[in-house]
Amino acid sequence: MSLYSLLQRRFIKFIKKVMHWKFVCSCLLLGILSHGCAFTSHTLTKNPQTIISSQKILFIKPVPSTILNKPLKSNSDDLVWYDNPSTVQRRPLIAGNWKLNPKTLTEATTLLKLLSSHFLNHYASNSPDTPEVAIFPPYPFLTTAIHILDGTGIKVGAQNIGLQTEGAYTGEVSASMIRSLGCDYVMLGHSERRCLFGESDKTINQKVQLALDEPGLDVILCVGETEEEYENNLLSSVVSLQIKKGLMGVPVEELHRIVIAYEPVWAIGTGKVATPDQAQLAHVSVRESLSEVYGSDDSKKVRIQYGGSVKPDSIERLMTMPDVDGALVGGASLTADSFTRIVDGAAVSPFNYQPPKEFTARECVATKNVLGESPIWSVRDQTLYWISAPEEEVWSWNLNDAPYRRLFGTTIGCVVLKQGEHGSVVIGGERALLATNMSPQTNDFAVGASILCERPEQAEATRPNDGRVDRQGRFVFGMYNNYHRAGVSVGENNAGIYRLNSNLEVEQILDYKYRVSNCICFPKEGNIMYFCDTPTRKVYAFDYNDTGPLTNRRLVYTMPADLPGGPDGAQVDADGLLWIALSGAGRVVRVNPNTGAVDMVVHLPVRSPTSVTFGGKDLDELFITTRGPDGGGLYRLKMPFGIVGLPEPEFIVNQNSNTNFILQQQRDLASMYQRDGN
Ligand code: PGA
């Protein structure tokens, strides 16, 4: 036997002893406490069957936390028993408990539409690697939720059911009713039902039975101790009773339809989240209780969620605990962003973590752009170009002289290089794609930039946003839903990705719509395109073909749940690694697109970097655009370790050539751009 397993065995034995003594002490304390509260504890023994069959056990009302004006004791000295992860595979479940929120159907619809567009196309609903997701809106919103979330993989559940199946029971709702709407879950025994509505374990057990009588309707059974019980070491015994009474009569064959949500009452809605160790210890105790009734093998298959003030910044650490199989989320499920981040956090594997190397970029041009974006370096011009979208300007800087800008009288999404004389560029304008010249000798001021072609989606509330020239010399750009945060088309996926070919024809190359295009960039081989719909916080790679649409989408990066904001512009370096500006999180990360690992982080003193590119005569400097209110300047970092970028391709206009000729020319150009990557 290895030293490790010997230690593990001793450890488990020790924990069992601790648990036993905790239980005995708990029972004694329960007895003492019961004098002043609702427990009838004198018959409490270690045999759960005796307790359950002989006594009516009521729930202790939680003591308001203001009365217990002392910090919760820490369990940091307690040892935590870790299950053997290799033998148990439980798919995490993240559930959103909306409680009595929001106030109106209109608000509920907005939240559902945002959730839908966050999830649509982004979660494989049945993959064991991704968490299962369910939301629990109030009854009147269930049908709308089921309708709007159709196709997203998000399941819908009800927050309660009544005790009858049909008849003269005014105001009640039955299990068959919610199931017939399409609900997959019902949540029972929530502490608010127990405390505020006086639901006993017996009532909860009756509801569990009624739910299980409906094929396809699964149950989340909530359990958890109050702060006072916790302080008095009653966690194990309280939770054990709730489980054993709540599941009384549930046969082992039905156990797979039960999820336990462990929610310490002192953590619900209070902002006091249990530490991961506290949660793990409690979940072990929950599993022990299940095991006493159903045996160890079956109890290991039951998912145990943690609930109580779970937020995007606490989920990842909670999920590192082997017995935490997801979360029941209240307050943070009421915004699409925080709920989605929690789901993402539950999907991230905490193992194999290597800390990245960290750097800080410095401001080199104090432009105070409202929304700086789209930096590109021209090898031909030895000049960096970038835009400020709402200020309708394109900036130009040769790294020596003072930078200058030109105003174009249109919101600008991006600027790319155009084949031709010094300063030739193409601009993604609000109403059209424009060709102009940014050199100081520019002479189109009087007539303005020339229109290359109309923008697509004329009937939509969208505009061109992020864009880059592919390695074959074509201009690929994505659109942006102007109202994606609020307004008429909030939550609507109405933006697409397009390619402007050399013959100036535009073709759509993504077979679904989304909200905010970003990250568009290509490695030197030109056979992959990266893309991100920013609100989803996920970056994908696609196979990029000479003709036809993007294919074979795969996820390469999900923004960590504890970071605010979303992925914005990106660029690929000569080694094929992806540099992504994380707007809102004040950093740029380098991601290995094959593994998703982040090995470098460039910090900025401002919150919102918007995009990145490589420039300078050796392409060994990283330039980062930023936005207001705290940012707006251009930032720069000399790259360490010989990291260099790729020369930026130019858009080729060749209206008269036939397609084969253009393709051949583009392939030649592509091979010219392939560098050995020193
Ligand atoms: P909370 O609620 O996340 O707002 O604490 C959790 C719950 O009551 O299920």
pLDDT per position as a tens digit, 341-368: 999 999 865 444 567 899 999 999 998 8
Q: Which 3 state secondary structure label does DSSP give 496?
A: coil
Higher-pLDDT residue of 585, 63? 585
For residues 470-483, give the mean pLDDT.
Answer: 93
Q: Nearest to residue 344, comparing CAs of 557, 535, 560? A: 560
pLDDT digits (tens, 9 = 90+) for 108-122: 999 999 999 888 877
User: How many CB atoms are located within 10 Å of the residue 48 CB?
Assistant: 19
Q: What is the pLDDT of residue 595?
A: 87
**Is ligand 1 within 6 A of the CB of residue 338?**
no
- Catalytic residue status for 316: no
Reply yes or no on whether the pLDDT at 62 is more than 60: no
Give the C-alpha separation, 283 to 277, whole Å.
10
Q: Which residues contact 249 (CB under 8 A, 6 or more apart)?
A: 205, 209
**Is ligand 1 within 6 A of the CB of residue 308?**
yes
Give the C-alpha separation, 122 to 130, whole Å.
10
State the DSSP string of 615-659: ESTTS-EEEEEEBTTT--SEEEEE-STT--B-PPP-B---TTS-H
Cis peptide before 629 (omega within 30 of 0): yes
Reply yes or no on whether the pLDDT at 272 is more than 90: no
Question: How buried is 336 (Cβ within 10 angstroms: 0-12 exposed, 13-18 middle, 19+ buried)?
Answer: buried
**Is ligand 1 within 6 A of the CB of residue 196?**
no
**Is ligand 1 within 6 A of the CB of residue 328?**
yes
Give the C-alpha separation, 607 to 565, whole Å.
9
Q: Which residues contact 36 (CB under 8 A, 6 or more apart)?
A: none
> For residue 308, how far is its CA from the centre of ligand 1 (angstroms)?
5
Q: Which of 229, 263, 621, 648 is catalytic?
A: 263
Q: What is the pLDDT of residue 655?
A: 65
**Is ligand 1 within 6 A of the CB of residue 274?**
no
Q: What is the pLDDT of residue 199?
A: 97
Radius of gyration (Cα) for the chain, nearest Å?
Answer: 29
> For residue 367, how far is its CA from the centre of ligand 1 (angstroms)?
44
**Checking DSSP bridges between strand 598-603 and strand 357-360, what pairing results, if any?**
parallel
> For residue 97, how far is its CA from the centre of ligand 1 (angstroms)?
7
**Is ligand 1 within 6 A of the CB of residue 268?**
yes
> For residue 496, how far is its CA from the centre of ligand 1 (angstroms)?
37
Q: Which residues contact 321 (CB under 8 A, 6 or more apart)?
A: 80, 276, 277, 279, 280, 283
**Is ligand 1 within 6 A of the CB of residue 112?**
no
Reply yes or no on whether the pLDDT at 674 is more than 60: no
Point out the ligand 1 atom lying closest to the alpha carbon of residue 192. 8
> For residue 188, how far is its CA from the centre of ligand 1 (angstroms)?
14
DSSP letter at 72? P
CB 600 within 8 A of CB 357: yes
Phi-psi sector, 167: left (phi>0), alpha (psi -120 to 50), beta: left
Atom 9 in ligand 1: which residue has the minimum CA distance?
Answer: 330
User: How many CB atoms are located within 10 Å of the residue 17 CB?
Assistant: 10
Higher-pLDDT residue of 670, 643? 643
Give CA separation, 512 vs 14, 430, 495, 509, 566, in Å: 56, 21, 9, 9, 20
For residues 63-77, give the mean pLDDT.
Answer: 34
Reply yes or no on whether the pLDDT at 593 is more than 70: yes
Higher-pLDDT residue of 362, 15? 362
Reply yes or no on whether the pLDDT at 435 is more than 70: yes
Q: For the chain, give the percent of residues with pLDDT over 70.
A: 81
Reply yes or no on whether the pLDDT at 4 is more than 60: no
pLDDT digits (tens, 9 = 90+) for 437-468: 998 887 777 677 889 999 999 888 899 999 99
CB 246 within 8 A of CB 260: no
How is residue 615 written in tokens? 């420039």
pLDDT digits (tens, 9 = 90+) for 490-539: 888 989 999 999 899 999 999 999 999 999 999 999 999 999 999 999 99
Q: Which helix (H) or strand (E) holds 59?
A: none
**Is ligand 1 within 6 A of the CB of residue 263?**
yes
Q: What is the pLDDT of residue 127?
A: 67
| Sheet of strand 517-521, all strands in order from the earlier edge strand to the far edge | 517-521, 528-533, 538-543, 551-558
Reply yes or no on whether the pLDDT at 41 is more than 50: no
- For 77-86, 129-138, 250-259, 512-521, which range has the lowest pLDDT when averaged over its residues? 77-86
Point out the ligand 1 atom lying closest to the alpha carbon of residue 309. 5
Reply yes or no on whether the pLDDT at 566 is more than 60: yes
Strand partners, 97: 136
Q: What is the pLDDT of residue 159?
A: 98
Q: Nearest to residue 483, comparing CAs of 512, 516, 454, 455? A: 516
Q: What is the pLDDT of residue 490?
A: 85
Q: What is the pLDDT of residue 464?
A: 93
Pure H helices in 272-403 = 276-294, 296-300, 312-319, 336-347
Question: pLDDT-based confidence at 81, cuts 50/70/90?
Answer: very low
For residues 299-313, give the mean pLDDT.
Answer: 95
Atom 1 in ligand 1: which residue has the minimum CA distance?
Answer: 330
> For residue 93, how far is its CA from the centre of ligand 1 (angstroms)?
15
**Is ligand 1 within 6 A of the CB of residue 314?**
no
> Measured in whole angstroms, how far is the alpha carbon of residue 109 from the centre of its chain?
20
For residues 241-247, give the mean pLDDT.
Answer: 97
Question: pLDDT-based confidence at 485, cuts 50/70/90?
Answer: confident
* Average pLDDT across the chain, whole number: 84
Q: What is the pLDDT of residue 599?
A: 92
Q: What is the pLDDT of residue 290?
A: 97
> For residue 331, how far is its CA from the centre of ligand 1 (angstroms)?
6
How is residue 661 written in tokens? 């000729």
Point out the ligand 1 atom lying closest to the alpha carbon of residue 328. 9
DSSP letter at 25? H
Strand partners, 157: 185
Higher-pLDDT residue of 56, 553? 553
- Catalytic residue status for 263: yes
Atom 6 in ligand 1: which residue has the minimum CA distance?
Answer: 330
Give the C-alpha separation, 546 to 472, whole Å.
8
How is residue 663 written in tokens? 């393709």
For 384, phi and psi rounded to 5 degrees? -100, 135
Point out the ligand 1 atom lying closest to the alpha carbon of residue 97. 9
Which pTM was predicted?
Answer: 0.72
Residue recorded with tokens 């966050």: 118
Q: Which 3 state secondary structure label does DSSP give 44?
A: coil
How is residue 32 written in tokens? 């003492």
Q: What is the pLDDT of residue 654?
A: 80
pLDDT digits (tens, 9 = 90+) for 138-153: 999 999 999 999 989 9
